[in-house]
Structures are given as C-alpha cells and as structure tokens.
Amino acid sequence: MSEQQSPEPTPPGQHPDEPHNSQNLAQRLNWLRAGVLGANDGIVSVAAIVVGVAGATSASGPILTAGLAALVGGMVSMALGEYVSVSSQRDSQRALIEKERRELQESPEQELAELAGLYQAQGLSASTARQVAQELTDHDALKAHLSAELDIDQDDVVSPWHAAFASAVSFAIGGILPLLAILLPPQPVRVPTTFIAVLIALAITGSLGAHLGDAPRGRATIRTLIGGALALAATYGIGMLLHTQGVG
C-alpha cells in the first residue's frame, strides 16, 4: 500500500479554494472578454454587409466578394487599432517604470517614506506601515512602489503584437459565421437563415460577455440582439431599396 502524500500547505492568509494569483486570473478574463467582444464585432460587421448586398442582388459572386472584403478589412482594422492602443499603453507603462526606477536610485529614503505613507493612508499605524514598506523594499523596491503607487506589474506589460493578433483572430471567428450562413443555404432562404444564425450567435456572445464582465446577462443579451437586428434590418432595407432602383 503506497503512502499518501500530504497536501502542500496553503500560504498564510490564503483560502485553499481561492485562486493563488487573482491578478493573472483577472487579466485572462479580460483577454477572454475582449475576444468575445471582438467576435461579436465580426458577426455584426460582416453580417450587416452581406445581408445588405443580398438585399440588392441574389448573385453569389457579389455577396462573397463583399463578405470577404468586410472580413479582411475588419481584421486589419481591428488589429491595427488594437496595436496602436496597446502600444501607447505599453509606452506609457514603460515610461512610468523607468521614472520610478530613477527615483529609487536618486532618493531611496524619500521613496521609502512615500511608500510608508501610502500604507498608512490605507489604515496601518505609522510604525506598521514603516515596517511593511521597509520589508517590501528590501525584497523588491521597484515592484513594491509600482504596485502601491501605480498599480503596475513590470512583468505584465502587454505585447501590442499579441493584442493585435488576438483581435484579428476573434474578429475573423465571428465574421466567418454570417459569411457561411449567407452562402451555403439555397437562395430563397439565405437571408432568413443568416438572420437566425446571427441572432443566435449574438445571444451567445452577449450572454458570455456579460458573464465574464459580471454584468446582468439578460439585459446585455437583449441590447446585443436589438443592436444586431437593427443593423441587419437597416442594411437589408438599403439593399432592397437599391434593388428596386435597378442597382444589382
């Protein structure tokens, strides 16, 4: 009979059922939520365009061309926008990190007093705040100041390339659905099939996005469905109007 291994001790102050790194968990949930929202954008953007073209013509060629253009253009736009946004955020974080590193080198005592003051402002006594600040400074002064003053972790600076790739992929995943829904069924049921498929997908992404953001699912799902339905109806109406005017 093999010996049973005793479980590893739980770190002091930490519940055994709680995640050990809540910051990393929160970041992963934010990335997942951003991916869901990106897929939602892909669904609505591509669906609105292909439905609008389908309202103007029943030919598959123009619908496929418009759908692919919307898919590729949306991917590039999402990736570029995310890259620029995250690059600006990364540059700002790096500048703050370098500023804090320089201040620690030039005036360590003043920075220690500042850190102690931050902990004292949170409710610790002056002596306890000073002791905590000193111990954290001895362990990793830069990390302690970045966390307490700026809520920044120097090891978690986001890569703009990763963000751009994730945005493009999530948009593409969402955008492929309406493209397939408009092209695969027979011509008479293309538009109704696309409407149904898109609204079901939007209900799923709306509910999932709300769940990841700790928001009420019902309200978020209804908003998403109403917005998607209005976009589809508007573009299809425009396509039908152009069709009656002899375009397409």
pLDDT in tens, 184-242: 999 999 999 999 999 999 999 888 888 877 778 888 889 989 999 999 999 999 999 98
Please check whether residue 240 is in contact with residue 56, taking contact to mean a CB–CB distance below 8 angstroms: yes
Structure-token match 């999932």, residue found: 208
Cα separation, 236 vs 216, whole angstroms: 31
Does some domain include residue 159? yes
Q: Quick one: tokens of 147?
A: 């966390």
pTM over 0.85: no
Does some domain include residue 84? yes
Please check whether residue 173 is in contact with residue 34, taking contact to mean a CB–CB distance below 8 angstroms: no
- Render pLDDT for 170-198 as a digit per residue (tens, 0 to 9): 999 999 999 999 999 999 999 999 999 99
Res. 103: pLDDT tops 90: no
Does some domain include residue 12? no
Q: How far, in Å, are 49, 155, 228, 240 from residue 45 at the CA level? A: 7, 35, 9, 18
Domain that holds residue 217: 40-239
Does some domain include residue 77? yes
> What is the model's pLDDT at position 238?
93
Res. 29: pLDDT tops 80: no
Q: Quick one: tokens of 46?
A: 């591509």
Does some domain include residue 183? yes
Query: What b/e string do you get for 30-66 counting C-beta neighbours within 10 Å, with b at 16 or more?
Result: ebebbbbbbbbbbbbbbbbbbbbbbbbbeeeeebeeb
Label residue 247 by pLDDT band (50, 70, 90). Answer: low
Does some domain include residue 127? yes
Q: How much is the mean pLDDT over the chain?
A: 82
Number of folded domains in the chain? 1
Does some domain include residue 33? no
Residue at 147: amino acid letter: S
Cα separation, 103 vs 114, whole angstroms: 11
Does some domain include residue 3? no
